[in-house]
Amino acid sequence: MKRVYLIFGCLCLLALAVMPAQAFTAKSLSVTLAPNGDAQINMQYDLSWLEQSAVFLRMADPAAELKKAFDSNTGSQVTVNSVTSTSADIVVPSYAGVSQVNGATTLTTPAISFLRAQEVLKKYWFAPLISANFAPQVTTITFPDGYQETFINSLSMPPVTHTMSV
Protein backbone atom coordinates (compact mmCIF):
# COMPACT_ATOMS: atom_id res chain seq x y z
CA MET A 1 0.00 0.00 0.00
CA LYS A 2 2.88 2.37 0.80
CA ARG A 3 4.21 1.68 -2.66
CA VAL A 4 0.94 2.87 -4.23
CA TYR A 5 1.14 6.14 -2.30
CA LEU A 6 4.76 6.61 -3.28
CA ILE A 7 4.01 6.00 -6.96
CA PHE A 8 0.97 8.31 -6.80
CA GLY A 9 3.04 11.03 -5.11
CA CYS A 10 5.78 10.73 -7.72
CA LEU A 11 3.25 10.94 -10.54
CA CYS A 12 1.69 14.06 -9.00
CA LEU A 13 5.11 15.72 -8.68
CA LEU A 14 5.95 14.79 -12.26
CA ALA A 15 2.64 16.20 -13.48
CA LEU A 16 3.27 19.46 -11.63
CA ALA A 17 6.79 19.68 -13.03
CA VAL A 18 5.72 19.37 -16.67
CA MET A 19 2.45 21.27 -16.39
CA PRO A 20 2.67 24.93 -17.40
CA ALA A 21 2.19 27.05 -14.30
CA GLN A 22 0.32 30.05 -15.60
CA ALA A 23 -0.84 32.24 -12.77
CA PHE A 24 -2.75 35.51 -12.71
CA THR A 25 -3.39 36.88 -16.21
CA ALA A 26 -4.83 40.38 -16.63
CA LYS A 27 -7.37 40.41 -19.47
CA SER A 28 -8.74 43.96 -19.42
CA LEU A 29 -8.77 47.08 -17.28
CA SER A 30 -11.57 49.63 -17.71
CA VAL A 31 -11.46 52.99 -15.94
CA THR A 32 -14.67 55.01 -16.28
CA LEU A 33 -14.41 58.56 -14.96
CA ALA A 34 -17.18 60.68 -13.46
CA PRO A 35 -17.17 64.48 -13.97
CA ASN A 36 -15.91 64.97 -10.38
CA GLY A 37 -12.86 62.72 -10.98
CA ASP A 38 -14.18 59.61 -9.25
CA ALA A 39 -13.44 56.37 -11.10
CA GLN A 40 -15.32 53.13 -11.53
CA ILE A 41 -12.64 50.53 -12.25
CA ASN A 42 -13.26 47.05 -13.60
CA MET A 43 -10.52 44.47 -14.05
CA GLN A 44 -11.10 41.18 -15.85
CA TYR A 45 -8.54 38.44 -15.21
CA ASP A 46 -7.89 34.71 -15.22
CA LEU A 47 -6.69 32.79 -12.18
CA SER A 48 -4.95 29.45 -12.21
CA TRP A 49 -6.77 26.51 -10.63
CA LEU A 50 -4.43 26.79 -7.66
CA GLU A 51 -5.28 30.47 -7.13
CA GLN A 52 -8.99 29.75 -7.53
CA SER A 53 -8.66 27.05 -4.88
CA ALA A 54 -6.91 29.47 -2.52
CA VAL A 55 -9.72 32.00 -2.97
CA PHE A 56 -12.37 29.31 -2.46
CA LEU A 57 -10.67 28.11 0.74
CA ARG A 58 -10.30 31.73 1.87
CA MET A 59 -6.51 31.45 1.97
CA ALA A 60 -6.34 34.44 -0.40
CA ASP A 61 -8.65 37.44 -0.55
CA PRO A 62 -8.45 39.33 -3.86
CA ALA A 63 -10.85 42.01 -2.58
CA ALA A 64 -8.65 42.86 0.39
CA GLU A 65 -5.48 42.86 -1.72
CA LEU A 66 -7.02 45.05 -4.40
CA LYS A 67 -8.37 47.49 -1.83
CA LYS A 68 -5.00 47.66 -0.06
CA ALA A 69 -3.17 48.33 -3.34
CA PHE A 70 -5.47 51.19 -4.39
CA ASP A 71 -5.74 52.65 -0.85
CA SER A 72 -1.97 52.92 -0.56
CA ASN A 73 -1.43 54.24 -4.10
CA THR A 74 -4.23 56.80 -4.31
CA GLY A 75 -4.53 58.08 -0.75
CA SER A 76 -8.30 57.73 -1.10
CA GLN A 77 -10.70 55.36 0.63
CA VAL A 78 -11.42 52.76 -2.05
CA THR A 79 -14.73 50.89 -2.17
CA VAL A 80 -14.71 47.32 -3.45
CA ASN A 81 -18.11 46.68 -5.06
CA SER A 82 -17.52 43.09 -6.12
CA VAL A 83 -14.77 40.55 -6.63
CA THR A 84 -15.18 37.19 -8.34
CA SER A 85 -12.73 34.61 -9.61
CA THR A 86 -12.64 36.47 -12.95
CA SER A 87 -13.24 40.17 -12.20
CA ALA A 88 -13.12 42.99 -9.70
CA ASP A 89 -15.17 46.21 -9.55
CA ILE A 90 -13.99 49.08 -7.38
CA VAL A 91 -14.69 52.79 -6.95
CA VAL A 92 -11.81 55.20 -6.35
CA PRO A 93 -12.86 58.69 -5.21
CA SER A 94 -10.92 61.63 -6.66
CA TYR A 95 -8.95 59.31 -8.93
CA ALA A 96 -8.49 61.96 -11.64
CA GLY A 97 -7.50 65.56 -11.08
CA VAL A 98 -10.20 68.02 -12.16
CA SER A 99 -9.65 71.63 -13.26
CA GLN A 100 -11.95 74.26 -14.75
CA VAL A 101 -10.74 76.87 -17.24
CA ASN A 102 -13.14 79.17 -19.14
CA GLY A 103 -16.04 76.79 -18.52
CA ALA A 104 -14.19 73.75 -19.87
CA THR A 105 -13.44 70.83 -17.55
CA THR A 106 -10.10 69.04 -17.80
CA LEU A 107 -9.52 65.67 -16.16
CA THR A 108 -6.06 64.15 -15.67
CA THR A 109 -5.63 60.53 -14.62
CA PRO A 110 -2.58 59.35 -12.72
CA ALA A 111 -0.07 57.02 -14.32
CA ILE A 112 -0.94 53.33 -13.96
CA SER A 113 1.82 50.79 -13.42
CA PHE A 114 1.81 47.10 -12.63
CA LEU A 115 5.61 46.94 -12.28
CA ARG A 116 5.31 46.94 -8.49
CA ALA A 117 3.05 43.87 -8.61
CA GLN A 118 5.70 42.01 -10.60
CA GLU A 119 8.42 43.04 -8.14
CA VAL A 120 6.33 41.91 -5.16
CA LEU A 121 5.69 38.54 -6.82
CA LYS A 122 9.42 37.97 -7.35
CA LYS A 123 9.94 38.00 -3.56
CA TYR A 124 7.87 34.84 -3.00
CA TRP A 125 9.50 31.40 -2.91
CA PHE A 126 7.14 30.07 -5.57
CA ALA A 127 7.84 32.91 -8.05
CA PRO A 128 10.11 30.78 -10.30
CA LEU A 129 7.31 28.22 -10.59
CA ILE A 130 4.66 30.55 -12.03
CA SER A 131 4.29 32.93 -14.91
CA ALA A 132 2.05 35.87 -14.00
CA ASN A 133 1.06 38.46 -16.61
CA PHE A 134 0.04 41.74 -14.99
CA ALA A 135 -0.15 43.73 -18.25
CA PRO A 136 -3.82 43.94 -19.25
CA GLN A 137 -4.40 42.92 -22.85
CA VAL A 138 -6.56 46.06 -23.19
CA THR A 139 -6.72 49.08 -20.89
CA THR A 140 -9.45 51.62 -21.62
CA ILE A 141 -9.88 54.97 -19.89
CA THR A 142 -13.30 56.50 -20.61
CA PHE A 143 -14.03 60.16 -19.84
CA PRO A 144 -17.52 61.50 -18.99
CA ASP A 145 -18.03 62.87 -22.54
CA GLY A 146 -17.29 59.44 -24.07
CA TYR A 147 -13.71 60.16 -25.15
CA GLN A 148 -11.48 57.09 -24.71
CA GLU A 149 -7.78 56.33 -24.50
CA THR A 150 -6.79 52.71 -25.13
CA PHE A 151 -3.53 50.91 -24.35
CA ILE A 152 -2.68 47.40 -25.60
CA ASN A 153 -0.56 44.98 -23.53
CA SER A 154 0.94 47.81 -21.48
CA LEU A 155 2.48 47.15 -18.09
CA SER A 156 2.53 50.93 -17.47
CA MET A 157 0.33 53.72 -18.79
CA PRO A 158 1.18 57.45 -18.65
CA PRO A 159 -1.14 60.06 -17.13
CA VAL A 160 -3.94 60.92 -19.54
CA THR A 161 -5.32 64.47 -19.81
CA HIS A 162 -8.54 65.31 -21.64
CA THR A 163 -10.46 68.56 -21.85
CA MET A 164 -14.16 68.08 -22.35
CA SER A 165 -15.87 70.40 -24.78
CA VAL A 166 -18.27 72.97 -23.35
pLDDT in tens, 95-148: 999 999 888 999 999 888 887 777 766 776 666 666 777 788 999 999 999 999
> Does residue 6 form part of some domain?
no
Query: Which carries the bigger pLDDT value, residue 8 or residue 138?
Result: 138
> Average pLDDT in the 70-97 region?
80
Angle ∠(6,15,121) on CA atoms, nearest 5: 115
- For residues 105 and 107, give the distance between their C-alpha atoms in angstroms, rounded to a whole number: 7
> Does residue 3 form part of some domain?
no
Locate all alpha helices (DSSP H) within 29-149, ordered by sequence. Answer: 49-56, 62-74, 115-122
Residues spanned by the domain of 140: 21-164
- Given pLDDT bands bounded at 50, 70 and 90, which one contains residue 165? confident
- Given pLDDT bands bounded at 50, 70 and 90, which one contains residue 86? confident
φ and ψ of 67, to 5 deg? -60, -45
> Does residue 43 form part of some domain?
yes
Residue 23 pLDDT > 70: no
> What's the confidence (pLDDT) of residue 145?
95
137: three-class secondary structure by DSSP: coil
**Taking a C-beta distance cutoff of 8 angstroms, is the pair 36, 98 a contact?**
yes
> Average pLDDT in the 4-14 region?
39
Q: Which residues of 113-147 are buried (b: 16+ CB within 10 A; e: fewer)?
A: ebeebeeeeeeeeeeeebebbbbbeebebbbbeee
> Does residue 7 form part of some domain?
no
> Does residue 101 form part of some domain?
yes
**Taking a C-beta distance cutoff of 8 angstroms, is the pair 46, 24 a contact?**
yes
The 10s digit of each residue's pLDDT in 35-78 is 999 999 998 888 776 666 655 555 555 556 566 666 655 666 78
> Does residue 138 form part of some domain?
yes
**In total, how many domains does the chain have?**
1
pTM of the predicted model as reported, rounded to 2 decimal places: 0.76
> Does residue 1 form part of some domain?
no
44 φψ region: left (φ > 0), alpha (ψ -120 to 50), beta (else): beta
> Does residue 11 form part of some domain?
no
